[in-house]
Structure 1
């Protein structure tokens, strides 16, 4: 699912100080000095953090292509740079959340390949969904748009997110409709397989083993069994989805342009 995201998240830097002094007057003066010092350090750290994020964003932006450039043709569907750039940004963000650097030479190559592969696969699924008659109603689109807007405090922040993502409401509605069709197709045509208790137990045992190496106390199986079950179902469904895309590729005409 394509989501609007902010590339920058500015955290609040907490600075803890211990006041000291031999008398009240000296203590008060020292407190004031330390408060000023703390504020200055906080501002300096914030500026440094913002500068680092700006530099990182410049590196990430260099991986983008021209918005009107044709990056691939899937059957009769032309995929443009704006589609590629949005998928690229999403993948870059995922890598950063996992503590990986998407700007290294090796990672940049990997990100490019995965972005193209993701776009092609998504397009093939949507084309198959169209063939089978899956549609998104106006009511479904409006409901999903309302949920998207709820992520933002007000219309200004929502509009800023749209602008940051290079979208307008028309493009957002189109993407929302595609997402609904995609989801309907996957849920109906590629249902999640049943997960056995043995698979859940094996997954739990592996997690416990990994957690024990770091000294973490694992939760009881009963407490997290539903989450494990859901995750394993999603993994199985994803594997089937990949297989479906590979099958569709066999009869498709895919021309990568970048």
Structure 2
């Protein structure tokens, strides 16, 4: 699901991102007046650093390139939209983290350690894990800090969204759509029972993302006066 923590190398590449991630610890405590040239935005006085923003932008560009949309082939408008999207995601992530903490959401060290072990399990050994960290210019301590933030936001979102389920009718509708697509590709569709779990997760993820989007939109409207974008 979109809000769940990504594992393995992918997480190490996007741990700096939102639904992915929150602003860098080094920016904490910065206000709009302090080091203004080093900030791209503040959320209730907490700074989002230019360095962190540029890192996240590069990660997003790499993601687009993997999808066959390299940044160097984007026109000016597309690049501006991408840059704006990354900044908005960072602002939303910082806002969610602050609200979650004010709401009393807390994460124990053992929860962070459990998530870290899941990530390490995707690597052959400790050395490969450490090499991945080095490649992404992160320390294990920084990764754990990001994991704690993401877990905090996840727990807050879970408390607000509640349990989401997919009905049999919704699964059937999605299965019928799947069959049409597969038949259009002149292939034989799988039986419903073989793809039911996948279709169910897809429906739940879509519902979850829709609720999260509405919640974030509501929170942004309620806290817009606390958000300041700093022009270069």
Is the shorter-chain TM-score for this pair beyond 0.5, marking a shared fold? yes
Q: Is the 8 A contact 1:193 1:236 kept in 2?
A: yes
* Structure 1 runs not aligned, ≥5 long: 7-67
Cα 1:233–1:213, aligned 2, differ >3 Å: closer, same or farther? Answer: same
Task: Answer with 74-83 or 86-95: which moved more.
Answer: 86-95
Deviation at 1:130, TM superposition (A): 0.4
Count of paired positions: 197
Cα 1:208–1:102, aligned 2, differ >3 Å: closer, same or farther? Answer: farther
Match in the other structure for 2:44: 75
Match in the other structure for 1:28: none
- How does the TM-score come out when normalised to structure 1? 0.68
Deviation at 1:116, TM superposition (A): 1.4
Q: Deviation per CA, 1:70-91, whole angstroms, max 9, x where unpaired?
A: 1221122211234324433443
Q: Is the 8 A contact 1:191 1:237 kept in 2?
A: no
- How does the TM-score come out when normalised to structure 2? 0.75
Larger Rg: 1
Which structure 2 residues correspond to residues 219-238 of structure 1 after superposition, within 5 A? 219-238=190-209
> Secondary structure of 1:135's partner?
coil
Cα 1:213–1:102, aligned 2, differ >3 Å: closer, same or farther? Answer: farther
- Paired with 2:191 and 2:99, the residues of 1 have a C-alpha distance of 43
Match in the other structure for 2:13: 5
Match in the other structure for 2:99: 128
In the alignment, structure 1 residue 103 sits paired with structure 2 residue 111:
no
- Paired with 1:205 and 1:234, the residues of 2 have a C-alpha distance of 19
Which structure 2 residues correspond to residues 84-233 of structure 1 after superposition, within 5 A? 84-106=53-75, 107-233=78-204
- Paired with 2:189 and 2:71, the residues of 1 have a C-alpha distance of 31
Match in the other structure for 2:211: 240
Match in the other structure for 1:254: 227
> Secondary structure of 1:5's partner?
helix
Compare relative contact order (CA 8 Å, sep 6+) and give the higher one, 1 or 2. Answer: 2
* Structure 2 runs not aligned, ≥5 long: 15-36
Q: Is the 8 A contact 2:62 2:70 kept in 1?
A: no
Q: Is the 8 A contact 2:97 2:152 kept in 1?
A: yes
**RMSD value over aligned CA atoms?**
2.3
